[in-house]
């Protein structure tokens, strides 16, 4: 299994830090030339490899860490995503429910990535918190996951555990997934909740 992060802003870099802490390799990509952010990637860790978008999308599991408004451009990188797992880290705050056709934003993202298996996750924490060590006072920082594909959600849950987080499955995109999705200018009730789970 190999991994990629599309988008290398604050959230993308926070995710890369989680990979670096865990000793897992991940490639990072934007629409820019990889050389332009190679120094930032190297500063995070040796396993964080800048690649072109065309190279990064060969990964099995891809974190979509771009602005919601840019998801369609990212989706055009492949005509069919053929079973790849896309982890939707976007937030559609300020996007009108009407423009989403009354659907959760992740459902719209899922439709853009034809053939992909989409999991909503890692989006409820601000970058400064997401980038911290998830081991807190004997507990683990929670990440919420939602998907209509149980197997994909389980695989992302296992990855979250490897990265040191405690995943909580919320169910489908239109049910529990609404808890971590913005709607217009209001946030889902679990957005920004920094929770620690103790086993």
Would you say the pTM of this structure is higher than 0.85? yes
Summarised one tens digit per residue, pLDDT across range 85-137 is 999 999 999 999 999 998 999 999 999 999 999 999 999 999 999 999 999 99
- Nearest CA to 74 out of 124, 26, 7 is that of 7
What confidence score (pLDDT) does residue 123 get? 97
Does position 199 have pLDDT exceeding 90, yes or no? no
User: What average pLDDT does this structure show over 64-85?
Assistant: 95
Contact 74, 168 (CB under 8 A): no
Give the span between the Cα atoms of 10 and 149, in whole angstroms.
28
More confident residue, 7 or 183: 7
Give the span between the Cα atoms of 48 and 66, in whole angstroms.
18
Give the span between the Cα atoms of 5 and 53, in whole angstroms.
10
Summarised one tens digit per residue, pLDDT across range 9-25 is 999 999 999 999 999 99
Residue 194: other Cβ atoms inside 10 A: 13
What's the burial of 55, exposed, middle or buried (CB within 10 Å: 0-12/13-18/19+)? middle
Q: What are phi and psi of 91, to 5 degrees?
A: -135, 125
Mean of the per-residue pLDDT values for the chain? 96
What's the burial of 39, exposed, middle or buried (CB within 10 Å: 0-12/13-18/19+)? exposed
Give the span between the Cα atoms of 113 and 158, in whole angstroms.
23
User: What average pLDDT does this structure show over 57-80?
Assistant: 96
């Amino acid at each position: 299994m190999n991994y990629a992060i599309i988008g290398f802003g604050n959230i993308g870099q926070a995710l890369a830090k989680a990979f670096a802490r865990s000793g897992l390799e991940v490639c990072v990509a934007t629409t820019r030339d990889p050389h332009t952010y190679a120094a930032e990637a190297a500063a995070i860790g040796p396993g964080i490899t800048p690649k072109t978008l065309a190279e990064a999308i060969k990964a099995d599991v891809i974190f979509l860490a771009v602005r919601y408004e840019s998801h369609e451009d990212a989706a055009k990188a492949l005509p069919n995503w053929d079973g790849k797992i896309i982890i939707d880290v976007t937030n559609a705050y300020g996007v009108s429910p009407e423009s989403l056709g009354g659907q959760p934003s992740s459902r719209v993202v899922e439709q853009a990535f034809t053939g992909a298996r989409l999991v909503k996750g890692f989006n409820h924490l601000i970058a400064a918190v997401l980038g911290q060590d998830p081991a807190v006072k004997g507990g683990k920082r929670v990440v919420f996951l939602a998907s209509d594909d149980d197997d994909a959600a389980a695989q992302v849950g296992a990855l979250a555990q490897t990265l040191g987080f405690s995943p909580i499955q919320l169910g489908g995109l239109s049910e529990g997934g609404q808890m971590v999705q913005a709607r217009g200018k209001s946030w889902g009730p679990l957005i920004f909740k920094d929770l620690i789970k103790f086993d």
